[in-house]
């Protein structure tokens, strides 16, 4: 899950740091496969081993993790997809030759601000399970998780005094990555009507970079993606309690989730919002219904103590089993889901970031144009009411130039809730002046 420094910046800009009856499908019959907890345990132990040194984006350990995931996809005979390489990627060209890889350069303003390299060659890992219904196989459900973690970076951890200790990220997010691979195995036994794209993202800890790259360079048309399910920190299931975000991002979603829960023994708390500090946000910003599965924070989060022996493979399996039911219901429906822009109260103040609320969702991938590019705007927020749109590049706030996320944050913190400010954005190359009345965070 997104590292604390980046999560705070997103929170300051309103990322919140961050009933229809289900269709009867193969997922409701008695032929469902039992999740393979032995394979889940093996996957978590490998990905969270010291040998991979925490899977930091741009490191050899991250590359080794990507190769491991690709081999698992290949063992299931999943289909490769176009990786976006057109011969102009320079140093990325060797990655273009790797099956299942979607190479990209992780460009992070947040990383540069923290003194890390601002350009890191990396890759997502992508595979396809072709749908069984020719009439629906060109529509897609995406199942994803990030596989990167902090590596040896103490600056972005919650135990910086541990110097260069390896942060193995067993729960964050070897657990979610293992859930994606297990979902691939479960669904490959009996393909649903729609196709399923499995993707593990790099660069999440630096600002959702891999998922943003994926949605901007998707190997399948994003307007044919009917839903995205994200797994981030699903390895600490306690007292059967699971949090599922995004249940209000489609009209039918809450009913589908409620129907899938029956008989699982899970105590599921459904949260409506589709934005949050993980990769599902990149998809929701494109108007795609999302779900995010999460077994909650714990004392080992972003610390060197997040190790494999603390992950419950059985718990990951139970989450994957529930998600399989949900995916099959969505993928086997005759009709697509009906997307909803969720309106929600302003996020609660963090105690460090002030109490001003705008509702803009920043793109953390350091675009070439100076300013802050927005991937989305919260429904009914001050930004939405002011006419700010996804894709706008903020270049001026309250008379102050904005060259990056940090100048944007500082300019916002200098004002108070209720203040009226002029915001200048670039929209399709043209300067547009807008006026916003700032809200109160947690109001």
CATH code for the domain of 363: 2.30.42.10
Q: What is the pLDDT of residues 240-283, one digit of tens each?
A: 999 999 999 999 999 999 999 999 999 999 999 999 889 999 99
User: Is residue 424 predicted with pLDDT exceeding 60?
Assistant: yes
Count Cβ atoms below 10 Å from residue 413 Cβ, excluding itself. Answer: 13
Q: Please give the tally of structural domains in the chain.
A: 2
Residue 12 belongs to some domain of the structure: yes
The residues that bridge with 391 in the sheet, in sequence order, are none
The residues that bridge with 360 in the sheet, in sequence order, are 377
Residue 90 belongs to some domain of the structure: yes
Q: By percentage, how much of the chain surpasses pLDDT 90?
A: 72
Count Cβ atoms below 10 Å from residue 33 Cβ, excluding itself. Answer: 14
Q: How far apart are CA 365 and CA 217, in angstroms?
A: 14
Residues 6+ apart with CB under 8 A from 112: 118, 366
Do 312 and 420 lie in a common domain?
no
Residues 6+ apart with CB under 8 A from 424: 394, 395, 396, 397, 431, 432, 433, 434
Do 219 and 287 lie in a common domain?
yes
Residue 348 belongs to some domain of the structure: no
Q: How far apart are CA 204 and CA 196, in angstroms?
A: 21
Do 204 and 317 lie in a common domain?
yes
Q: How far apart are CA 351 and CA 349, in angstroms?
A: 6
**pLDDT, greater one: 277 or 232:** 232
Residue 79 belongs to some domain of the structure: yes
Do 296 and 378 lie in a common domain?
no
* Model confidence, pTM: 0.84
Residue 43 belongs to some domain of the structure: yes
SS3 labels along 105-156: EEECHHHHHCCCCCEEEEEEEEEEECCCCCCCCCCEEEEEEECCECECCCCC
Do 186 and 73 lie in a common domain?
yes
Contact between 269 and 262 (Cβ < 8 Å): no
Do 33 and 161 lie in a common domain?
yes
Do 325 and 372 lie in a common domain?
no
Q: How far apart are CA 174 and CA 172, in angstroms?
A: 6
In the Cβ-directed half-sphere of 37, how many Cα atoms lie within 13 Å? 11
User: Is residue 348 predicted with pLDDT exceeding 60?
Assistant: no
CA 215 to chain centre: 11
- Residue 169's pLDDT band, with cuts at 50, 70 and 90, is very high
E-only strand ranges, 167-273: 195-201, 225-231, 241-245, 267-271
Do 161 and 292 lie in a common domain?
yes
Closest CA to 367 of 358, 379, 355, 375: 375
Q: What's the whole-number average pLDDT of the chain?
A: 88
Q: Is the dihedral of CA 289, 294, 299, 302 positive or negative?
A: negative
Do 132 and 205 lie in a common domain?
yes
User: Is residue 423 predicted with pLDDT exceeding 50?
Assistant: yes
User: Is residue 179 predicted with pLDDT exceeding 70?
Assistant: yes
Q: How far apart are CA 386 and CA 214, in angstroms?
A: 29
Contact between 250 and 340 (Cβ < 8 Å): yes
Do 307 and 431 lie in a common domain?
no
Residue 340 belongs to some domain of the structure: no
Number of residues assigned to the chain = 443
Q: What is the pLDDT of residues 351-365, one digit of tens each?
A: 444 689 999 988 766
Q: What is the pLDDT of residues 137-148, one digit of tens each?
A: 999 999 999 999
Residue 381 belongs to some domain of the structure: yes
CA 343 to chain centre: 20
Do 109 and 225 lie in a common domain?
yes
The confidence score (pLDDT) of residue 367 equals 54
Task: Print burial letters for 169-194: b (CB count within 10 Å at least 16), e (below 16).
Answer: bbbbbbbbbbbbbbbbbbbbeebbbb
Residue 347 belongs to some domain of the structure: no
The confidence score (pLDDT) of residue 425 equals 97
Domain membership of residue 78 as a residue range = 4-332
Do 94 and 173 lie in a common domain?
yes
User: Domain of 51: which CATH number?
Assistant: 3.40.630.10
Lowest mean pLDDT among 235-244, 303-312, 409-418: 409-418
């Amino acid at each position: 899950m997104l590292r604390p420094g980046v999560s705070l910046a997103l929170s300051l800009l309103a990322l919140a740091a961050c009933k229809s009856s289900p269709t009867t499908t193969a997922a409701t019959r008695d032929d469902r496969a039992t999740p393979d907890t032995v394979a889940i345990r093996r996957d978590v132990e490998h990905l969270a081993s010291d040998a991979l040194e925490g899977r930091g984006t741009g490191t050899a350990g991250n590359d080794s993790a990507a190769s491991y995931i690709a081999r698992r996809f290949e063992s299931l005979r999943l289909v490769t997809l176009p990786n976006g390489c057109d011969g102009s990627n320079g140093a990325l060209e060797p990655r273009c030759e790797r099956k299942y890889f979607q190479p990209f350069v992780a460009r992070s303003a947040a990383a540069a601000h923290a003194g890390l390299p601002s350009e890191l060659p990396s890759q997502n890992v992508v595979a396809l399970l072709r749908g069984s219904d020719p009439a629906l196989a060109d529509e897609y459900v995406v199942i994803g998780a990030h596989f990167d973690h902090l590596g040896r970076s103490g600056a972005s951890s919650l135990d910086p005094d541990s110097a260069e200790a390896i942060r193995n990220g067993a729960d964050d997010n070897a657990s979610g990555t293992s859930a994606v691979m297990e979902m691939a195995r479960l669904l490959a036994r009996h393909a649903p009507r729609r196709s399923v794209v499995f993707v593990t993202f790099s660069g999440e800890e630096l600002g959702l970079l891999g998922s943003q790259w994926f949605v901007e360079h998707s190997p399948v048309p994003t307007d044919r993606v009917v839903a995205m399910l994200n797994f981030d920190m699903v390895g600490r299931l306690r007292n059967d309690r699971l949090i599922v975000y995004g249940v209000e991002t489609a009209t039918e979603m809450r009913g589908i989730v409620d129907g899938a829960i029956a008989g699982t023994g899970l105590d599921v708390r459904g949260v409506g919002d589709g934005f949050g500090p993980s990769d599902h946000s990149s998809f929701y910003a494109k108007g795609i219904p999302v779900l995010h599965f999460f077994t909650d924070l714990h004392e080992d989060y972003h610390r060197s103590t997040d190790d494999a022996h603390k992950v419950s493979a059985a718990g990951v399996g139970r989450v994957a089993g529930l998600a399989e039911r949900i995916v099959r219901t969505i993928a086997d429906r005759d009709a697509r889901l009906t997307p909803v822009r969720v309106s929600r109260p302003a996020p609660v103040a963090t105690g460090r970031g002030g109490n001003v609320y705008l509702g803009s969702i920043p793109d953390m991938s350091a675009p070439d144009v100076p300013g802050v590019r927005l991937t989305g705007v919260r429904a009914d927020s001050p930004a939405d009411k002011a006419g700010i749109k996804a894709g706008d590049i903020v270049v001026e706030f309250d008379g102050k130039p904005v060259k990056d996320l940090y100048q944007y944050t500082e300019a916002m913190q200098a004002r108070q809730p209720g203040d009226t400010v002029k915001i200048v954005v670039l929209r399709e190359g043209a300067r547009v002046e807008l006026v916003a009345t700032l809200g109160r965070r947690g109001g």
